[in-house]
Amino acid sequence: MEIVYLNPGFKKTLSPFENYSEKLGDFPIAGSTLSVLQEKRLKKYLSGVTSSEIKIRSDFWPSKAILEEIAKSSLGKVLNNKSEVILEISGANNVIQIDKDSTLVTYPWDFLKINEEIISELAESSILGTVRSGATIDGTIILGEGSVLLPGVYIEGNAVIGKNSKIGPNCYIRGNTYIGDKCHIGQAVEIKNSLLMDKVSIGHLSYVGDSVIGTETNFGAGTITANLRHDGKNHKSFVGDELIDTGRRKLGVIVGDGVHTGINTTIYPGRKIYSHASTLPGEIVKNDKR
């Protein structure tokens, strides 16, 4: 089975990760990349399909239901809401429409959704790093070579931690979290249901929830991300000049590469901080920050 990736074209809506727009497959998710995860998913569900070629758009994350229907009925094409082909099995002509459980990666929080799904499905732990006495693992984790969990670290649920990262002491990691390579999660930090790329440092006494954090970002001590509205409604976020519904009841911050926050920075939910921006000590981020 040969898998051919189709380029969906530039997507400015992925800001502040527009540098991945034309190479979506390279985006880091759950200790892998989007294209590698797509390939594994297709081979898992479509192993019985006799076609020699499968074409898929690099921004399409098909639901299990769609893949199971293709495998059962040899459906040939999946169309998006604009009747564009986003997945095609060569030699088959039947058509199915995209469903609500599939994802067309359009906004940065879509990466968070896929990350949640992949990590929640971890079935077996792999611990290649060091777990010090006094650290507690209450779930399924992947811990890369050279990484260490210091005393007082508590991991609840599933997590993927890359290579040469230092976690703790006294950290709380929960909710399908991915922490990349060469990261440092400091004393008394809580990370919940988030995606942290490589070389991220989250200073002590900080909270990061339902967030996507770009490479080489440093959060100063006491940086807090809010992730829930008082009225419980979905978060909205500006994309260009348009305020759109993210579809998420819980959403923290979307942070580009090389961002630095001052100590005691407070960030409103659903905000974006663009690459290489910084905040002052005690700053309150009420709007997207460039």
Residue 214 phi, psi (nearest 5): -75, 170
Which H/E stretch holds residue 60?
strand 60-61
Residue 204 C-beta-side C-alpha neighbours within 13 Å: 5
DSSP 91-117: T---EEE--TTSEE--STHHHHHHHHH
User: Which letter does DSSP use for residue 223 in this model?
Assistant: -
d(CA 137, CA 155): 5
Tell me which of 184, 204, 230, 276 is the catalytic residue. 204
Q: Is 36 helix (H, G, I), strand (E, B) or coil?
A: helix
204 is catalytic: yes
By the 8 A CB rule, do 221 and 237 touch? no
d(CA 159, CA 286): 30
Residue among 24, 92, 97 at smallest CA distance from 53? 92
Buried b (16+ CB within 10 A) or exposed e, 201-229: bbbbbbbbbbbbbbbbbbbbbbbbbbbeb
d(CA 284, CA 117): 31
Q: How far is CA 168 from CA 106, 187, 227, in A?
A: 34, 5, 23
* Polymer length of the chain: 290
User: Which letter does DSSP use for residue 175 in this model?
Assistant: S
Does residue 16 have a cis bond before it (omega within 30 degrees)?
Answer: yes
- Active site members: 204
